[in-house]
Amino acid sequence: MNFLQFMMANRQQVLDLTLEHITLAGVATLFAALVGIPLGILITRVPQLSKPVLGGANIIQTIPSLALFGFLLPAPWIGERAGRLAILALALYALLPLIRNTYAGIRSVDPAVVDAGRAMGLTDRQLLFQVELPLASGVIVAGVRIATVVSIGLATIAAAIGAGGLGEFIFRGLAMVNNQVILAGAVPAALLALFADFVLGRLERRLGSLHSKS
Amino acid sequence: MTAPPSHASTLEVPAIEFDHASFRLNGRALLHDLVLSVKQGETLVLLGRSGSGKTTTLKLINRLLLPTSGQVRVNGQVTAEWDPIRLRRSIGYVIQDGGLFPHFTVERNIALVPRIENWPRERVEARVRELLATVGLNADLASRYPSQLSGGQRQRVGVARALAADPPILILDEPFGALDPITRSEMQKEFRTLQQRMRKAVIFVTHDLREALLLGDRIALMEEGRLIVDLPVAELSRSQDPLVRAYVEAFSALPNS
């Protein structure tokens, strides 16, 4: 039985696991964005916090992913639900690119433009929402793109703690020493990542050209 | 019996007044004991080299900075006591190359202050049309982005934006410095005409003596954070101050001037 025949024979399961995978990675990226983007904004306002926040997110990034899933497993308030645990772990990994890009994006806005805005009497909130965030949006979306692609890749490991997703095929294939089964998980996961990268890349370019319309 | 204060003197609170204002940053004096005032309708040109404290002086007016000693008063009130947002919205600010928001159209750039002040939409639109005409721009440019304009057009938009809410005070930081000589000369002449009509209190920063002579009622010459002289334009050539002489001589050395 070759790879394509295996996919066709198990199409219902491939579809279910793909949807589960999208949910894991999507919800994790969403949570990470809800925390990471405000944190990135915060550290442009309170510069003393930028080192500890970026450093903390960096440290999380250095923990081997399998180990992080394992560490979180005994936590009583999430341990019983592997799905929630996997989302938490994925969100932690996705934090760094989101915080870093939000911070870098806002910092890269031309200081002359920010100064002009402040001198015209914009409040800090108006400056943020009308000037800094729109001009940083391309760089922030680039962070969302990296976070999404990383989450889709890492979500395959969620199967190790029983959270489902396309990793199920990969771990099953490893156990069965069957390449077809491994590929049934790996190929759709790779395609998902490429698709997300493509769509967010287009959005990023559109936002990036927002301030150089010609 | 003392004479009652004359009516004129009570009206003549200077629009901008530096009262022994100094500004120090990390132990370095960027501005030292400045005493200077500008009346309504008057144009003061701040002349000096880069780093002489001209921009610091401007930032003390709209409270982007507060003096580390002494006071700055705007319309008689100390800047430290002003609500900074109200203060800044009553001062038009023009910088080199306009400082326009690159993601806003010309129209939205000009309408910035009227919009945040919640003017009704028709009034904002009418004001934008009026200002485009005032600064000599075609109404079709309203929907363009700053990157689609020439340097001179961007600078005109910058002036229009500063005038939008009709502030009584206008401060300009080398506004025409980045323009080619012909456009610069046009802008200077137009600005002079505009100021004769508007009669605002204007502080104009430049390092170009020719521009200073053309636009100023008075010239304040600064060097290393200190005010060297503060003279009516006509008296500049008679000054014996060595720095003034250096400027005047550099200027006279130009052919055809």
Per-residue pLDDT reduced to its tens digit, A26-78: 999 999 999 999 999 999 999 999 999 999 999 988 888 888 877 777 666 55
Chain B closest-CA separation from residue A103 CA (Å): 19
Contacts of B112 in chain A (CB under 8 A): 120, 122
The answer, yes or no, to whether ipTM is higher than 0.90 is: no
- Contact status of B178 with chain A (Cβ, < 8 Å): no
User: Is residue A130 over pLDDT 80?
Assistant: yes
Is the pLDDT reported for residue B245 higher than 90? no
Closest-CA residue of chain B to A123: B85
pTM listed for this prediction: 0.83
Measured between beta carbons, the chain B residues lying within 8 angstroms of A113 are 99-102
A160 or A47, which is more confident: A47
Minimum mean pLDDT among A15-29, A174-188, A198-212, B107-121: which range?
A198-212
Q: Does B31 touch chain A (CB under 8 A)?
A: no
- By DSSP bridging, strand B28-38 and strand B43-48 are unpaired
Q: Is the pLDDT of residue B207 over 70?
A: yes
Greater model confidence, B178 or A34: A34
Nearest to A213 among B100, B113, B148 (CB): B148
Query: B103–A135: do the CB atoms touch at under 8 Å?
Result: yes
A113 with B99: Cβ contact below 8 A: yes
- Mean pLDDT of the region B200-218: 92
Cα distance between residue B187 and residue A140, in whole Å: 39
With an 8 Å Cβ cutoff, are B95 and A213 in contact?
no
B242-251: long-range pairs with CB below 8 Å, 24+: B247/B47, B247/B209, B247/B221, B248/B209, B250/B209, B251/B209, B251/B210
Give the whole-angstrom CA distance, residue B60 versus residue B79: 8
pLDDT band at residue B147 using 50, 70 and 90 as cut-offs:
very high
Q: Averaged over B4-10, what is the pLDDT?
A: 46
CB pairs under 8 A between A and B: 59
Residue B251 has pLDDT above 80, yes or no: no
Q: Do A211 and B102 touch (CB under 8 A)?
A: yes
Q: What is the pLDDT of residue A213?
A: 45
* Euclidean distance between CA atoms B50 and B30, whole angstroms: 12
Closest-CA distance, A124 to chain B, in angstroms, reads 10
Residue A95 has pLDDT above 90, yes or no: yes
Q: Which residues of A touch B (CB under 8 A)?
A: 110, 112-113, 115-123, 126, 130-131, 134-135, 210-214
B87 touches chain A (CB under 8 A): yes
Q: Is B43 on the interface with A (CB under 8 A)?
A: no
Cβ of A211 within 8 Å of Cβ of B103? The answer is yes
The whole-angstrom distance between A108's CA and the closest CA on chain B is 14
Asked whether the predicted pLDDT for residue B6 surpasses 70, the reply is no
Instruction: Please give the DSSP secondary-structure letter assigned to residue A130.
Output: I
Q: What pLDDT sits at residue B254?
A: 61
As a whole number of angstroms, the distance between CA B239 and CA A22 comes to 78
* pLDDT over 90, % of chain A: 66
Residues 6+ apart with CB under 8 A from B36: B16, B17, B18, B44, B57, B220, B227, B230
Residue B11: its pLDDT value, please? Answer: 58
* Interface contact flag, B99 A123, Cβ < 8 Å: no
pLDDT(B10) > 80? no
- Chain B positions in Cβ-Cβ contact with residue A110 (cut-off 8 Å): 102
State pLDDT tens for residues A9-18: 888 999 999 9
- Partners of B99 on chain A (C-beta within 8 Å) are 112-113, 115-116
The yes-or-no verdict on residue B233 having pLDDT over 60 is: yes
